[in-house]
Structure 1
Amino acid sequence: MKFVKRISYFFVVPVFFLGLGIYLGVWGIHFFYPGLWYDMNDTAKPPYVVDETVTDEEDNSPPASVAVASSGETLCADTEYVLEETDILRGTSVETSWKIPHKYIGMDRENFLETMDLYAEHPPLSEIERGFVGLEVLSFSRERVVVRMDYRYVQPSESYYLAVTDHEVVVYLEDRTTVYINTGIALEDLPETLQLQIMDMLFVPDEETLYDFLETYSS
Protein backbone atom coordinates (compact mmCIF):
# COMPACT_ATOMS: atom_id res chain seq x y z
CA MET A 1 0.00 0.00 0.00
CA LYS A 2 2.84 2.39 0.89
CA PHE A 3 4.41 1.60 -2.48
CA VAL A 4 1.25 2.60 -4.29
CA LYS A 5 1.06 5.92 -2.43
CA ARG A 6 4.67 6.69 -3.33
CA ILE A 7 3.96 6.07 -7.01
CA SER A 8 0.88 8.40 -6.86
CA TYR A 9 2.88 11.17 -5.24
CA PHE A 10 5.55 10.67 -7.93
CA PHE A 11 3.05 11.49 -10.72
CA VAL A 12 0.76 13.99 -8.98
CA VAL A 13 3.45 16.34 -7.68
CA PRO A 14 5.18 16.92 -11.08
CA VAL A 15 1.80 17.44 -12.79
CA PHE A 16 0.80 19.96 -10.12
CA PHE A 17 3.99 21.97 -10.50
CA LEU A 18 3.74 21.81 -14.32
CA GLY A 19 0.24 23.24 -14.23
CA LEU A 20 1.34 25.86 -11.74
CA GLY A 21 4.21 26.85 -14.02
CA ILE A 22 1.94 27.21 -17.05
CA TYR A 23 -0.49 29.36 -15.06
CA LEU A 24 2.28 31.59 -13.74
CA GLY A 25 3.69 31.94 -17.27
CA VAL A 26 0.38 33.02 -18.74
CA TRP A 27 -0.24 35.36 -15.81
CA GLY A 28 3.20 36.90 -16.29
CA ILE A 29 2.58 37.61 -19.99
CA HIS A 30 -0.76 39.18 -19.19
CA PHE A 31 0.76 41.29 -16.38
CA PHE A 32 4.05 42.39 -17.94
CA TYR A 33 3.07 42.47 -21.70
CA PRO A 34 -0.61 43.42 -21.94
CA GLY A 35 -0.26 44.63 -25.58
CA LEU A 36 1.05 41.26 -26.69
CA TRP A 37 -1.82 39.56 -24.90
CA TYR A 38 -4.43 41.62 -26.81
CA ASP A 39 -2.71 41.00 -30.12
CA MET A 40 -2.77 37.24 -29.48
CA ASN A 41 -6.50 37.36 -28.76
CA ASP A 42 -7.46 39.74 -31.59
CA THR A 43 -6.93 37.31 -34.47
CA ALA A 44 -10.68 37.27 -35.21
CA LYS A 45 -10.55 40.86 -36.61
CA PRO A 46 -10.04 40.79 -40.41
CA PRO A 47 -6.73 42.42 -41.25
CA TYR A 48 -8.11 43.87 -44.52
CA VAL A 49 -10.51 46.27 -42.75
CA VAL A 50 -7.73 48.78 -42.28
CA ASP A 51 -6.51 48.20 -45.81
CA GLU A 52 -9.96 48.96 -47.20
CA THR A 53 -10.06 52.25 -45.33
CA VAL A 54 -6.69 53.25 -46.68
CA THR A 55 -7.73 52.25 -50.18
CA ASP A 56 -10.80 54.50 -50.00
CA GLU A 57 -8.73 57.41 -48.76
CA GLU A 58 -6.12 56.97 -51.48
CA ASP A 59 -8.66 56.55 -54.27
CA ASN A 60 -7.81 59.17 -56.89
CA SER A 61 -10.96 58.72 -58.97
CA PRO A 62 -13.14 61.89 -59.26
CA PRO A 63 -16.19 62.17 -57.02
CA ALA A 64 -19.50 61.05 -58.54
CA SER A 65 -20.88 64.61 -58.40
CA VAL A 66 -18.02 65.88 -60.56
CA ALA A 67 -18.64 63.22 -63.19
CA VAL A 68 -22.37 63.99 -63.30
CA ALA A 69 -21.80 67.73 -63.58
CA SER A 70 -19.31 67.27 -66.41
CA SER A 71 -21.56 64.92 -68.41
CA GLY A 72 -24.62 67.13 -67.83
CA GLU A 73 -22.99 70.19 -69.40
CA THR A 74 -22.31 68.67 -72.81
CA LEU A 75 -24.88 67.80 -75.47
CA CYS A 76 -24.71 64.35 -77.03
CA ALA A 77 -26.46 62.36 -79.74
CA ASP A 78 -29.09 61.18 -77.24
CA THR A 79 -30.09 64.69 -76.15
CA GLU A 80 -33.76 65.50 -76.81
CA TYR A 81 -34.24 68.77 -78.69
CA VAL A 82 -37.62 70.35 -77.94
CA LEU A 83 -38.72 73.28 -80.09
CA GLU A 84 -41.57 75.44 -78.84
CA GLU A 85 -42.93 77.72 -81.59
CA THR A 86 -45.07 80.55 -80.22
CA ASP A 87 -47.44 82.85 -82.10
CA ILE A 88 -47.14 86.03 -80.04
CA LEU A 89 -50.15 87.64 -81.73
CA ARG A 90 -52.58 84.84 -80.93
CA GLY A 91 -50.86 83.53 -77.79
CA THR A 92 -50.73 79.97 -79.11
CA SER A 93 -47.82 77.54 -79.03
CA VAL A 94 -46.83 74.32 -80.78
CA GLU A 95 -44.21 72.01 -79.24
CA THR A 96 -42.25 69.44 -81.24
CA SER A 97 -39.49 67.06 -80.19
CA TRP A 98 -36.52 66.25 -82.40
CA LYS A 99 -33.17 64.57 -82.25
CA ILE A 100 -30.46 67.07 -81.45
CA PRO A 101 -28.97 68.54 -84.67
CA HIS A 102 -25.45 67.25 -85.31
CA LYS A 103 -23.98 70.74 -85.26
CA TYR A 104 -24.93 71.11 -81.57
CA ILE A 105 -23.40 67.81 -80.38
CA GLY A 106 -20.48 68.40 -78.04
CA MET A 107 -21.52 71.94 -77.10
CA ASP A 108 -21.67 73.00 -73.47
CA ARG A 109 -24.21 75.48 -72.14
CA GLU A 110 -22.12 78.56 -72.94
CA ASN A 111 -21.40 77.49 -76.53
CA PHE A 112 -25.04 76.62 -77.14
CA LEU A 113 -26.32 79.95 -75.80
CA GLU A 114 -23.81 81.85 -77.94
CA THR A 115 -24.97 79.91 -81.02
CA MET A 116 -28.62 80.67 -80.25
CA ASP A 117 -27.87 84.37 -79.74
CA LEU A 118 -26.10 84.47 -83.09
CA TYR A 119 -29.07 82.76 -84.75
CA ALA A 120 -31.48 85.28 -83.22
CA GLU A 121 -29.37 88.20 -84.44
CA HIS A 122 -29.02 86.85 -88.00
CA PRO A 123 -31.95 84.52 -88.73
CA PRO A 124 -32.26 82.83 -92.15
CA LEU A 125 -34.46 84.52 -94.71
CA SER A 126 -36.93 81.64 -94.47
CA GLU A 127 -37.41 82.41 -90.78
CA ILE A 128 -37.80 86.11 -91.43
CA GLU A 129 -40.54 85.33 -93.93
CA ARG A 130 -42.36 83.29 -91.30
CA GLY A 131 -42.37 86.26 -88.94
CA PHE A 132 -39.53 85.26 -86.63
CA VAL A 133 -38.94 87.86 -83.89
CA GLY A 134 -36.70 86.13 -81.34
CA LEU A 135 -35.93 83.05 -79.28
CA GLU A 136 -35.11 81.96 -75.74
CA VAL A 137 -33.40 78.86 -74.35
CA LEU A 138 -35.80 77.66 -71.63
CA SER A 139 -33.75 74.75 -70.32
CA PHE A 140 -30.42 73.05 -70.97
CA SER A 141 -29.15 69.67 -69.84
CA ARG A 142 -27.47 66.62 -71.32
CA GLU A 143 -30.83 64.86 -71.48
CA ARG A 144 -33.07 67.65 -72.82
CA VAL A 145 -32.84 71.10 -74.41
CA VAL A 146 -35.90 73.34 -74.77
CA VAL A 147 -35.85 76.34 -77.11
CA ARG A 148 -38.78 78.72 -77.56
CA MET A 149 -38.97 80.56 -80.88
CA ASP A 150 -41.34 83.51 -81.13
CA TYR A 151 -43.13 84.43 -84.35
CA ARG A 152 -45.48 87.18 -85.41
CA TYR A 153 -47.46 85.27 -87.98
CA VAL A 154 -49.33 87.55 -90.40
CA GLN A 155 -51.21 86.92 -93.59
CA PRO A 156 -49.28 88.36 -96.53
CA SER A 157 -50.99 91.04 -98.54
CA GLU A 158 -50.97 91.72 -102.27
CA SER A 159 -48.63 94.70 -101.92
CA TYR A 160 -46.02 95.96 -99.45
CA TYR A 161 -44.09 99.03 -98.39
CA LEU A 162 -40.42 99.41 -97.54
CA ALA A 163 -39.67 101.85 -94.72
CA VAL A 164 -36.89 102.65 -92.22
CA THR A 165 -36.83 101.90 -88.49
CA ASP A 166 -33.66 102.43 -86.45
CA HIS A 167 -31.61 102.76 -89.66
CA GLU A 168 -32.79 99.37 -90.93
CA VAL A 169 -35.22 98.46 -93.72
CA VAL A 170 -38.60 97.17 -92.58
CA VAL A 171 -41.36 95.65 -94.73
CA TYR A 172 -44.91 96.74 -93.98
CA LEU A 173 -48.14 95.25 -95.20
CA GLU A 174 -50.41 97.31 -97.40
CA ASP A 175 -52.03 98.89 -94.33
CA ARG A 176 -48.65 100.63 -93.70
CA THR A 177 -48.86 99.85 -89.97
CA THR A 178 -48.35 96.09 -89.66
CA VAL A 179 -44.71 95.02 -89.77
CA TYR A 180 -44.30 92.03 -92.08
CA ILE A 181 -40.51 91.54 -92.02
CA ASN A 182 -37.60 93.08 -90.14
CA THR A 183 -35.07 92.60 -92.90
CA GLY A 184 -31.91 93.46 -90.96
CA ILE A 185 -30.70 95.39 -94.02
CA ALA A 186 -28.92 98.61 -93.06
CA LEU A 187 -30.21 101.61 -94.98
CA GLU A 188 -26.69 102.96 -95.52
CA ASP A 189 -25.73 99.77 -97.39
CA LEU A 190 -28.20 100.55 -100.19
CA PRO A 191 -27.70 102.85 -103.18
CA GLU A 192 -28.40 106.49 -102.36
CA THR A 193 -31.40 106.78 -104.72
CA LEU A 194 -32.98 103.68 -103.19
CA GLN A 195 -32.34 105.03 -99.69
CA LEU A 196 -34.35 108.17 -100.48
CA GLN A 197 -37.22 106.13 -101.90
CA ILE A 198 -37.37 103.86 -98.84
CA MET A 199 -37.25 106.86 -96.49
CA ASP A 200 -40.45 108.03 -98.22
CA MET A 201 -41.98 104.52 -97.92
CA LEU A 202 -41.29 102.70 -101.14
CA PHE A 203 -44.27 100.88 -102.65
CA VAL A 204 -43.67 97.22 -103.62
CA PRO A 205 -46.41 95.92 -105.93
CA ASP A 206 -46.16 92.20 -105.28
CA GLU A 207 -44.43 89.38 -103.39
CA GLU A 208 -42.07 88.51 -106.23
CA THR A 209 -40.67 92.04 -106.34
CA LEU A 210 -40.24 92.01 -102.57
CA TYR A 211 -38.29 88.73 -102.62
CA ASP A 212 -36.06 90.03 -105.42
CA PHE A 213 -35.16 92.99 -103.24
CA LEU A 214 -34.46 90.81 -100.19
CA GLU A 215 -32.31 88.35 -102.14
CA THR A 216 -30.35 91.17 -103.72
CA TYR A 217 -29.51 93.13 -100.57
CA SER A 218 -29.62 90.58 -97.76
CA SER A 219 -26.17 89.52 -96.57
Structure 2
Amino acid sequence: MKFVKGIGLFFIYPVFLLCLGFYAGVRTSHFFYPGEQYERLYYVPEDENTASAQNGDNRQESRADEILAEGASAEEPSSGAETESLPAAVSRETLSVETEYVLEERDIEGQTTVETTWKLPDKYVGMNREQFVEAMKLYEASPPLAEMSRGFESLEVLSFSRERVVVQMNYRYVKPSSSFYLAVYDNEVVVLLEDKETIYIDDTRIMLDELPDDIQQDIIHMLWIENEEKLYAFLEAYSS
Protein backbone atom coordinates (compact mmCIF):
# COMPACT_ATOMS: atom_id res chain seq x y z
CA MET A 1 0.00 0.00 0.00
CA LYS A 2 2.75 2.40 0.80
CA PHE A 3 4.38 1.39 -2.45
CA VAL A 4 1.25 2.34 -4.43
CA LYS A 5 1.00 5.72 -2.69
CA GLY A 6 4.60 6.37 -3.48
CA ILE A 7 4.04 5.61 -7.16
CA GLY A 8 0.88 7.89 -7.25
CA LEU A 9 2.68 10.75 -5.67
CA PHE A 10 5.56 10.19 -8.05
CA PHE A 11 3.24 10.85 -11.05
CA ILE A 12 0.91 13.48 -9.55
CA TYR A 13 3.65 15.72 -8.27
CA PRO A 14 5.36 16.27 -11.70
CA VAL A 15 2.00 16.91 -13.38
CA PHE A 16 1.12 19.46 -10.73
CA LEU A 17 4.48 21.20 -11.23
CA LEU A 18 3.94 21.21 -15.02
CA CYS A 19 0.50 22.85 -14.69
CA LEU A 20 1.85 25.32 -12.18
CA GLY A 21 4.69 26.23 -14.54
CA PHE A 22 2.33 26.68 -17.50
CA TYR A 23 0.03 28.95 -15.47
CA ALA A 24 2.98 30.95 -14.19
CA GLY A 25 4.24 31.32 -17.79
CA VAL A 26 0.89 32.62 -19.01
CA ARG A 27 0.60 35.11 -16.18
CA THR A 28 4.16 36.24 -16.72
CA SER A 29 3.49 36.76 -20.44
CA HIS A 30 0.42 38.90 -19.65
CA PHE A 31 2.42 40.87 -17.12
CA PHE A 32 5.35 41.66 -19.44
CA TYR A 33 3.31 41.99 -22.73
CA PRO A 34 -0.02 43.50 -21.71
CA GLY A 35 -0.59 45.31 -25.08
CA GLU A 36 -0.39 42.21 -27.23
CA GLN A 37 -3.90 41.18 -26.33
CA TYR A 38 -5.32 44.58 -27.12
CA GLU A 39 -3.49 44.67 -30.42
CA ARG A 40 -5.17 41.47 -31.35
CA LEU A 41 -8.55 42.88 -30.35
CA TYR A 42 -8.06 45.99 -32.46
CA TYR A 43 -6.21 44.40 -35.34
CA VAL A 44 -7.42 45.60 -38.73
CA PRO A 45 -6.37 43.80 -41.89
CA GLU A 46 -3.75 45.60 -43.96
CA ASP A 47 -5.97 45.67 -47.04
CA GLU A 48 -8.70 47.46 -45.09
CA ASN A 49 -6.20 50.04 -43.79
CA THR A 50 -4.98 50.67 -47.34
CA ALA A 51 -8.53 50.98 -48.64
CA SER A 52 -9.42 53.37 -45.83
CA ALA A 53 -6.35 55.51 -46.52
CA GLN A 54 -7.14 55.54 -50.22
CA ASN A 55 -10.73 56.55 -49.51
CA GLY A 56 -9.45 59.36 -47.31
CA ASP A 57 -7.07 60.54 -50.04
CA ASN A 58 -9.86 60.33 -52.61
CA ARG A 59 -12.12 62.41 -50.37
CA GLN A 60 -9.36 65.02 -49.98
CA GLU A 61 -8.74 65.08 -53.74
CA SER A 62 -12.47 65.38 -54.42
CA ARG A 63 -12.70 68.27 -51.97
CA ALA A 64 -9.70 69.96 -53.60
CA ASP A 65 -11.32 69.51 -57.04
CA GLU A 66 -14.53 71.04 -55.71
CA ILE A 67 -12.64 74.06 -54.38
CA LEU A 68 -10.84 74.54 -57.70
CA ALA A 69 -14.10 74.13 -59.60
CA GLU A 70 -15.77 76.76 -57.42
CA GLY A 71 -12.89 79.18 -58.03
CA ALA A 72 -13.00 78.57 -61.79
CA SER A 73 -16.76 79.01 -61.91
CA ALA A 74 -16.40 82.30 -60.04
CA GLU A 75 -13.99 83.59 -62.70
CA GLU A 76 -15.77 82.19 -65.75
CA PRO A 77 -18.68 84.66 -65.92
CA SER A 78 -16.45 87.71 -66.42
CA SER A 79 -14.26 86.03 -69.05
CA GLY A 80 -17.30 84.55 -70.72
CA ALA A 81 -18.94 87.96 -70.83
CA GLU A 82 -15.85 89.40 -72.47
CA THR A 83 -15.75 86.55 -74.99
CA GLU A 84 -19.40 87.02 -75.83
CA SER A 85 -19.03 90.79 -76.16
CA LEU A 86 -16.18 90.58 -78.69
CA PRO A 87 -18.14 88.99 -81.56
CA ALA A 88 -21.02 91.38 -80.90
CA ALA A 89 -18.67 94.37 -81.04
CA VAL A 90 -17.07 93.09 -84.23
CA SER A 91 -20.45 92.53 -85.88
CA ARG A 92 -21.60 96.04 -84.92
CA GLU A 93 -18.43 97.55 -86.40
CA THR A 94 -18.70 95.78 -89.76
CA LEU A 95 -19.78 97.74 -92.82
CA SER A 96 -22.96 96.67 -94.62
CA VAL A 97 -24.83 97.61 -97.79
CA GLU A 98 -26.84 100.06 -95.68
CA THR A 99 -23.80 101.94 -94.37
CA GLU A 100 -23.64 105.60 -95.45
CA TYR A 101 -20.44 106.42 -97.31
CA VAL A 102 -19.68 110.11 -96.71
CA LEU A 103 -16.86 111.87 -98.57
CA GLU A 104 -15.59 115.24 -97.38
CA GLU A 105 -13.60 116.85 -100.20
CA ARG A 106 -11.36 119.46 -98.61
CA ASP A 107 -9.62 122.20 -100.59
CA ILE A 108 -6.27 122.69 -98.89
CA GLU A 109 -5.65 126.09 -100.48
CA GLY A 110 -9.14 127.52 -100.12
CA GLN A 111 -9.85 125.86 -96.74
CA THR A 112 -13.30 124.79 -97.90
CA THR A 113 -15.02 121.43 -97.62
CA VAL A 114 -17.76 119.85 -99.72
CA GLU A 115 -19.59 116.86 -98.23
CA THR A 116 -21.35 114.24 -100.36
CA THR A 117 -23.03 110.96 -99.43
CA TRP A 118 -22.67 107.91 -101.65
CA LYS A 119 -23.66 104.28 -101.73
CA LEU A 120 -20.96 102.20 -100.08
CA PRO A 121 -18.88 100.44 -102.78
CA ASP A 122 -19.40 96.69 -102.76
CA LYS A 123 -15.68 96.03 -102.19
CA TYR A 124 -15.94 97.62 -98.73
CA VAL A 125 -19.00 95.64 -97.57
CA GLY A 126 -18.16 93.31 -94.67
CA MET A 127 -14.97 95.12 -93.68
CA ASN A 128 -14.19 96.04 -90.08
CA ARG A 129 -12.38 99.24 -89.13
CA GLU A 130 -8.87 97.84 -89.50
CA GLN A 131 -9.60 96.38 -92.94
CA PHE A 132 -11.25 99.58 -94.16
CA VAL A 133 -8.39 101.79 -92.95
CA GLU A 134 -5.91 99.49 -94.70
CA ALA A 135 -7.93 99.75 -97.93
CA MET A 136 -7.86 103.54 -97.66
CA LYS A 137 -4.08 103.50 -97.19
CA LEU A 138 -3.72 101.49 -100.40
CA TYR A 139 -5.98 103.96 -102.21
CA GLU A 140 -3.92 106.88 -100.90
CA ALA A 141 -0.68 105.24 -102.05
CA SER A 142 -1.98 104.60 -105.59
CA PRO A 143 -4.89 106.95 -106.41
CA PRO A 144 -6.58 106.81 -109.82
CA LEU A 145 -5.31 109.15 -112.51
CA ALA A 146 -8.56 111.10 -112.39
CA GLU A 147 -7.99 111.86 -108.71
CA MET A 148 -4.38 112.82 -109.31
CA SER A 149 -5.43 115.26 -112.03
CA ARG A 150 -7.80 116.93 -109.57
CA GLY A 151 -4.95 117.51 -107.16
CA PHE A 152 -5.52 114.66 -104.69
CA GLU A 153 -2.90 114.64 -101.95
CA SER A 154 -4.09 112.58 -98.98
CA LEU A 155 -7.08 111.17 -97.11
CA GLU A 156 -8.16 110.42 -93.56
CA VAL A 157 -10.86 108.19 -92.05
CA LEU A 158 -12.69 110.56 -89.71
CA SER A 159 -15.30 108.18 -88.31
CA PHE A 160 -16.29 104.55 -88.65
CA SER A 161 -19.46 102.75 -87.61
CA ARG A 162 -21.89 100.26 -89.04
CA GLU A 163 -24.32 103.10 -89.79
CA ARG A 164 -21.93 105.69 -91.23
CA VAL A 165 -18.32 106.01 -92.38
CA VAL A 166 -16.73 109.39 -93.12
CA VAL A 167 -13.58 109.85 -95.23
CA GLN A 168 -11.90 113.21 -95.73
CA MET A 169 -10.22 113.63 -99.13
CA ASN A 170 -7.63 116.42 -99.23
CA TYR A 171 -7.01 118.17 -102.57
CA ARG A 172 -4.71 120.90 -103.73
CA TYR A 173 -6.77 121.94 -106.69
CA VAL A 174 -4.90 123.05 -109.79
CA LYS A 175 -6.69 124.82 -112.60
CA PRO A 176 -5.85 122.88 -115.72
CA SER A 177 -4.49 124.69 -118.71
CA SER A 178 -5.41 124.10 -122.33
CA SER A 179 -2.10 122.33 -123.02
CA PHE A 180 0.54 120.42 -121.04
CA TYR A 181 4.16 119.35 -121.05
CA LEU A 182 5.70 116.04 -120.14
CA ALA A 183 8.99 116.23 -118.28
CA VAL A 184 11.12 113.83 -116.25
CA TYR A 185 12.03 113.92 -112.59
CA ASP A 186 14.13 111.21 -110.97
CA ASN A 187 13.46 108.90 -113.98
CA GLU A 188 9.67 109.33 -113.60
CA VAL A 189 7.46 111.21 -116.05
CA VAL A 190 5.61 114.20 -114.60
CA VAL A 191 2.99 116.50 -116.13
CA LEU A 192 3.49 120.27 -116.14
CA LEU A 193 1.07 123.01 -116.98
CA GLU A 194 1.72 125.21 -119.99
CA ASP A 195 3.89 127.53 -117.91
CA LYS A 196 6.42 124.65 -117.76
CA GLU A 197 6.83 125.17 -114.00
CA THR A 198 3.62 124.20 -112.22
CA ILE A 199 3.39 120.45 -111.65
CA TYR A 200 -0.01 119.10 -112.61
CA ILE A 201 0.58 115.38 -111.98
CA ASP A 202 3.70 114.20 -110.15
CA ASP A 203 2.88 110.50 -109.73
CA THR A 204 2.23 109.05 -113.18
CA ARG A 205 4.00 105.74 -112.37
CA ILE A 206 5.62 105.94 -115.81
CA MET A 207 9.38 105.31 -115.78
CA LEU A 208 11.34 107.09 -118.48
CA ASP A 209 13.68 104.18 -119.20
CA GLU A 210 10.69 101.92 -119.93
CA LEU A 211 9.49 104.08 -122.84
CA PRO A 212 10.62 103.86 -126.46
CA ASP A 213 13.85 105.70 -127.20
CA ASP A 214 12.29 108.39 -129.37
CA ILE A 215 9.66 109.23 -126.71
CA GLN A 216 12.38 109.32 -124.06
CA GLN A 217 14.23 111.98 -126.03
CA ASP A 218 11.06 114.04 -126.53
CA ILE A 219 10.26 113.97 -122.82
CA ILE A 220 13.80 114.88 -121.87
CA HIS A 221 13.33 118.01 -123.96
CA MET A 222 9.76 118.47 -122.62
CA LEU A 223 7.12 116.88 -124.79
CA TRP A 224 4.21 119.18 -125.57
CA ILE A 225 0.69 117.70 -125.24
CA GLU A 226 -2.04 119.53 -127.08
CA ASN A 227 -4.99 119.04 -124.72
CA GLU A 228 -6.31 117.10 -121.73
CA GLU A 229 -7.82 114.33 -123.85
CA LYS A 230 -4.47 113.49 -125.45
CA LEU A 231 -2.76 113.77 -122.09
CA TYR A 232 -4.92 111.06 -120.49
CA ALA A 233 -4.66 108.92 -123.61
CA PHE A 234 -0.87 108.97 -123.22
CA LEU A 235 -0.96 108.30 -119.48
CA GLU A 236 -3.34 105.36 -119.83
CA ALA A 237 -1.27 103.89 -122.67
CA TYR A 238 2.06 103.89 -120.81
CA SER A 239 1.20 103.77 -117.10
CA SER A 240 1.96 100.46 -115.41
TM above 0.5, yes or no, is yes
2:215 is matched with which residue: 194, 197, 203? Answer: 194
The one-letter amino acid of 2:114's match is V
- Compute the displacement of 1:209 (Å): 2.8
Q: Which among 142, 147, 160 is matched to residue 127 of structure 1?
A: 147
Hey, what does 1:139 align to over in structure 2?
Answer: 159
Distance 1:174 1:59 in 2: 66
Q: Any idea what the Cα deviations from partners look like across 1:163-198, whole Å, max 9, x if unmatched?
A: 123332111111122121232222232123322322
Q: SS where residue 203 of structure 1 aligns?
A: strand
Q: Please, what TM-score do these two structures have when normalized by structure 1? A: 0.64
Asked whether 1:90 is paired with 2:113, we answer: no
Secondary structure, counterpart of 1:172 in structure 2: strand
Query: Residue 81 of structure 1: CA displacement?
Result: 1.4
Alignment-derived partner of residue 77 in structure 1: 97
Q: Cα–Cα, structure 1 residues 65 and 118, in superposed 2: closer, same or farther, change >3 Å? A: same
**Structure (1 or 2) with the greater helix fraction:** 2
Once residues 169 and 116 of structure 2 are traced to their aligned partners in structure 1, the CA distance between those partners, rounded to angstroms, is 12
Letter in 2 for 1:95: E
Residue of structure 1 aligned with 2:228, choices 201, 207, 216: 207
Question: Separation in 2 of the partners of 1:101 and 1:145?
Answer: 12
Contact 2:90 2:128 in 1 (8 A): no
Backbone CA RMSD of aligned residues? 2.8
Q: Say if 2:161 is the partner of 1:151.
A: no
Matched residue of 2:195: which SS? coil
SS for the counterpart of 1:71 is: helix
Structure whose residues are more often strand by fraction: 1
2:199 and 2:79 map into 1 onto residues whose CA distance is: 64
Aligned to 2:63: none
Partner of 2:60: none
Cα drift, residue 96 of structure 1: 1.4
Quickly say closer, same or farther: Cα 1:167–1:138, change in 2 above 3 A. Answer: farther
Aligned to 1:209, the other structure's residue is in SS state helix
Deviation at 1:68, TM superposition (A): 4.2
Residue 189 to residue 135, structure 1, CA distance change in 2 (3 Å)? farther
The TM-score normalised by the length of structure 2 is: 0.59
Shift of 1:67: 4.4
Regions of 4+ moved over 3 Å? 56-65
Determine the C-alpha separation between the residues in 2 that align with 1:180 and 1:58. 58
CA drift of 1:121 comes to 2.3
Q: Which residue of 2 aligns with 1:218?
A: 239
Structure 2 unaligned residues grouped into runs of 5+: 1-73
Greater CA radius of gyration, 1 or 2?
Answer: 2
- Supply the AA of the counterpart residue of 1:89: E
Count of aligned residue pairs for this structure pair: 166
